[in-house]
């Protein structure tokens, strides 16, 4: 009996040690221990396509990739913002090329996706950053979402179709080169089922699963597939919060996230975000749900209060 109890205790301690080491490796591995890979070599081509490229994380990815010598193909829905972003990039990095393509990702039309893919495939795409995303005006339960089913349809479409169809559309040229990188931007909201973020949370989980499946289907052909699941970053989409230990600016985030390519298949993109995620997963689910629900309530009240004052 004593031997059985002792054996069980040893196994339990070994299991805890194993879990702890894995947590440390996920936090420190891609951000401290591993050196960034040669992105140009892995991409096998000089063009980087970025969706949602005129603001926030997407725009920062563009500047960081341009700094590393990639030509940039900007894809977003507003012509004027695309032209302005192109101008800003070329002012800093005159030695590269920049192309633009207007596309509203609320549009689910396969015919229109074929048109945008025809443009993208005119160049050799080495890196595809599927960054475009959309959130609700504020968190709420599904039948009370602001904008109703129109908003639900838009959030579902914008967060799921682009990584699906654009990946499928550029993969043939990557397969033929046996080189390429596809980065799909998910969210920390996809790590667990989050109350009051139903469709957004579920869509981000879809991105994670899709990327994992593509990794199994194409990884042996020299193509890297990575999921980046950030937590709060100081961007317009997140309400431009002040930067802090857990909330970096988008430039710092993009630089950090790019350095993890090839060193982590699925990560948050930023070391403090990874720490935050690991701490969250250790909490009992009922405590986490309670905290998230209260946070959602607070955000909703703040947004509605601002709307009332502005009227």
Provide the annotated active-site residues: 200
Buried b (16+ CB within 10 A) or exposed e, 230-241: bbbbbbeebeee
Tokens standing for residue 206: 């879809």
- How many residues are there in the chain? 311
CA distance 34 to 256: 12
| Sign of the torsion angle spanned by Cα atoms 68, 63, 44, 226 | positive
Tokens standing for residue 17: 């040690």
CA distance 95 to 69: 8
Helix (H, G, I), strand (E, B) or coil at 301: helix
CA distance 152 to 200: 9
Half-sphere exposure of 273 (CA within 13 A, CB side): 28
**146: DSSP letter:** T
- Alpha-helical regions (H) of 44-147: 56-67, 79-92, 110-120
């Amino acid at each position: 009996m004593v031997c059985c109890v002792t054996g069980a205790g040893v196994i339990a301690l070994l299991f805890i040690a194993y879990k702890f080491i894995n947590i440390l490796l996920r936090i420190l591995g891609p951000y401290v221990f591993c050196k960034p890979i040669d992105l140009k070599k892995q991409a096998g081509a000089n063009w980087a396509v970025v969706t949602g490229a005129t603001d926030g994380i997407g725009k920062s990815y563009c500047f960081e990739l341009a700094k590393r010598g990639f030509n940039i193909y900007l894809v977003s829905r507003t012509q004027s913002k695309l032209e302005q972003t192109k101008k800003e990039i070329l002012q800093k990095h005159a030695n590269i090329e920049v192309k633009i393509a207007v596309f509203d990702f609320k549009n689910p039309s396969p015919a229109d996706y074929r048109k945008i893919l025809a443009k993208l495939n005119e160049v050799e795409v080495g890196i595809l950053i599927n960054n475009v995303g959309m959130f609700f005006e504020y968190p709420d339960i599904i039948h009370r979402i602001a904008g109703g089913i129109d908003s639900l349809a838009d959030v579902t479409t914008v967060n799921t179709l682009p990584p699906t169809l654009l990946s499928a559309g550029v993969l043939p040229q990557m397969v033929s080169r046996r080189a390429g990188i596809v980065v799909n931007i998910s969210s920390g909201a996809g790590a667990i089922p989050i109350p009051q973020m139903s469709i957004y949370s579920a869509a981000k989980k879809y991105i994670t699963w899709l990327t994992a499946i593509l990794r199994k289907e194409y990884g042996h052909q020299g193509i890297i597939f990575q999921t980046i699941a950030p937590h709060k970053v100081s961007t317009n989409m997140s309400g431009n919060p002040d930067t802090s230990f857990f909330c970096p600016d988008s430039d710092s985030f993009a630089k950090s996230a790019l350095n993890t390519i090839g060193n982590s298949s699925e990560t948050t993109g930023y070391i403090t975000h990874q720490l935050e995620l690991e701490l969250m997963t250790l909490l009992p689910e009922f405590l986490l749900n309670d905290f998230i629900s209260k946070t959602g309530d607070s955000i909703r009240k703040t947004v509605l209060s601002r709307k009332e004052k502005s009227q």
